[in-house]
Amino acid sequence: MKKILSILFALAVSCCLFTACNLDIAPADSLTGEQMTESPSGLEDILNGCYATMKDDTDESNYWWGRQYYQLADFASDDVVYGHETSDDLNMIFRYDERSPVLGNFRSFWALNYKLIYSCNVALATIAQKEELTEQDIYLRGEAEFFKAFCMHALLKNYAKQYDPATASSDLGIILRENSSDSELKDRASVADSYNAIVELLLQAEQDFSAGSFPDRESNKGFASLGAAQAMLSRVYIFMQDWNKAAEYATKVINSGKYDLESAQKFPSYFTETYNRDETIWCMRMIPTDDQGSAAVASMIYNGASGCWGEEGYSKPLLDDMNFEKDQYIGVDCRFSFVCGAYLKNGLILYPCSKHTWQDGIATLCSHPLLRLAEVYLNRAEAYAHLGNDAGALADLNEIIDHRMDYGVAASKGFSPSDYHLTTADVKTNMVDLVLTQKRVELAFEGFRIYDLLRNKKDVIRNYWGFHTNYVNGQSTGLVPGLNAPGVVTPYNYGRLICPIPQQEILNNPACTQNEAYK
């Protein structure tokens, strides 16, 4: 009997052990959209997630957002030497002819920006559901609007023709996503409509940043702010060739008193702590654990430190525009400190770039400045130049020069500040070109050059040796390549200077039109 009882007990235990199976199991490290709405910090967390997405690894680590943001702008331009042929997709940024819709870097940048736009839309929807908005909510709405606009512009400047007032209403821009439930299959809006949507968002952001308040975030340059929205407006109006508005918004930022240009003494160390510096309006804040190592922005363009390939460098025309070899500027122009020592790679003399390096003692770490005051001055200078206000343009350019030249060293060489100031005598072609040259010098490797050329209808002339041409290791580099050599002159309207719409979009969204050169 005892035995039987014990057996029955064993049976009962083994039956009951697993009988009440609860199969509703929630993941331990994520929440659903509904739960995000309920969470008191959900809105903030979604926005922080947007910033994080810009700096984080993707499944394919080379394709993270920041790397593409800079490479698409700089490697396509006449600023950079392509010093080692690679099977990395960056090859196709240099070699326009080989671009195609299946490439991972074009796909990834497109997808990441739309993911960010979706997240911003979720944040906006969360706010819209609230019955009563706090000042914090309004401020956060400003961030979401700004962020969405920023990503839309990142897409627009790469995947569409640059804004041309004559054709903007018929040229294809980007697919607009109105809200988080808008995922319908549709075509791209016109360039004009795309820009209008961006401006509308930025203007709302400007309002919300003014009306709302969130002191913890306002004091952190890692987050967007009123200044960021206004600086972004000045940038977007430049692209739209609305010179008056561009100047107006640049002035708002400059006169806000919140930002200052770094001095020539401090600027060389600027990139090691952008988040603490007065010149920064908004930076992509990275901390040591965010280090991208050999996939970092610096890795391809900086050498001599672990994690750095150092396969790309300053081009000869850029160095010439910097007066790199003129004694008057050596030791005076603090921007020379970013030009690293020349070294030979595949028979090419490379000058790597040390912007984007050495934050927290890590070679490949940097909190990349996405908006800084020097750009705003240059935006205003370009606007003034187009408006015929040469004196205003020169004043802004000289403001930058005053902060980049070490006049103490200059004095020891026998030069005075006026020897460095630009005047109408420095205008070789027109004032706009002078501004663009100064912008190229100031913002080299910071994600501007190709757009500055294309929106001003300037051909891309890469008359220096590198693997963008038919260069062969061992070939003489004494002469510059002829203008008719492959890859040297590319007309501004060459179709493959525009990135292809990724194949994944075309295949799964039949309504979407591919750019002409990839059809």
163-222 binders of another protein (CB under 8 A):
175, 177, 180, 183, 185, 220, 222
* 240 within 8 A of 451, measured Cβ to Cβ: no
Q: What is the dihedral of CA 57, 298, 107, 98, to 10 degrees?
A: -150
What token pair was written down for 325?
């070899």
* Listed residue (339, 206, 354, 327) closest to 270, CA to CA: 354
At CA 369, angle to CA 366 and CA 370, rounded to 5? Answer: 130
Looking only at residues 260 through 279 of this chain, which bind another protein when binding is defined by CB under 8 A? none
* Contact with another protein (CB under 8 A) among 40, 257, 414, 474: 474
CA 117 and chain centroid, separation: 15
Distance CA 110, CA 113 (A): 5
The residue among 21 and 425 lying less far from another protein, judged by its C-beta, is: 21
* Contact with another protein (CB under 8 A) among 138, 160, 376, 512: 512
* Listed residue (10, 89, 87, 98) closest to 487, CA to CA: 98
| Shortest reach from residue 229's CB to another protein, in Å | 19
* Contact with another protein (CB under 8 A) among 234, 241, 315, 364: 364
The residue among 116 and 431 lying less far from another protein, judged by its C-beta, is: 116
| Shortest reach from residue 508's CB to another protein, in Å | 4
Looking only at residues 45 through 74 of this chain, which bind another protein when binding is defined by CB under 8 A? 45-46, 48-53, 55-56, 60, 62-63
140 binds another protein, rule: CB under 8 A: no
H or E stretch at 80: strand 80-82
Distance CA 513, CA 174 (A): 10
The residue among 16 and 166 lying less far from another protein, judged by its C-beta, is: 16
The residue among 100 and 256 lying less far from another protein, judged by its C-beta, is: 100
* Contact with another protein (CB under 8 A) among 228, 319, 362, 371: 362
Looking only at residues 2 through 21 of this chain, which bind another protein when binding is defined by CB under 8 A? 3-4, 7-8, 10-11, 14-15, 17-19, 21
Q: What's the first-to-final CA gap in the chain, in angstroms? A: 85
Looking only at residues 72 through 101 of this chain, which bind another protein when binding is defined by CB under 8 A? 84-87, 89, 91-92, 95, 97-100
The residue among 47 and 231 lying less far from another protein, judged by its C-beta, is: 47
* Contact with another protein (CB under 8 A) among 73, 80, 81, 122: 122
Looking only at residues 329 through 358 of this chain, which bind another protein when binding is defined by CB under 8 A? 343-345, 347
Residue 59 is given by DSSP the state S
The residue among 117 and 246 lying less far from another protein, judged by its C-beta, is: 117
Q: How many CA atoms lie within 13 A of 85 on its CB side?
A: 11
Looking only at residues 408 through 467 of this chain, which bind another protein when binding is defined by CB under 8 A? 467
289 binds another protein, rule: CB under 8 A: yes
Stretch that binds another protein, among 139-147, 235-243, 260-268, 504-512 (CB under 8 A): 504-512
| Shortest reach from residue 232's CB to another protein, in Å | 19
The residue among 32 and 169 lying less far from another protein, judged by its C-beta, is: 32
Could you tell me whether strands 369-372 and 80-82 are parallel, antiparallel, or unpaired per DSSP bridges? unpaired
The residue among 132 and 216 lying less far from another protein, judged by its C-beta, is: 216
Ranges of beta strands (E only) in 351-430 are 369-372
Residue 487 region by backbone torsions, left for phi larger than 0, else alpha for psi between -120 and 50, else beta: left
Whole-angstrom CA distances from 20 to 14, 16, 137, 359, 370 are: 12, 7, 44, 55, 55
| Shortest reach from residue 305's CB to another protein, in Å | 7
The residue among 293 and 392 lying less far from another protein, judged by its C-beta, is: 293
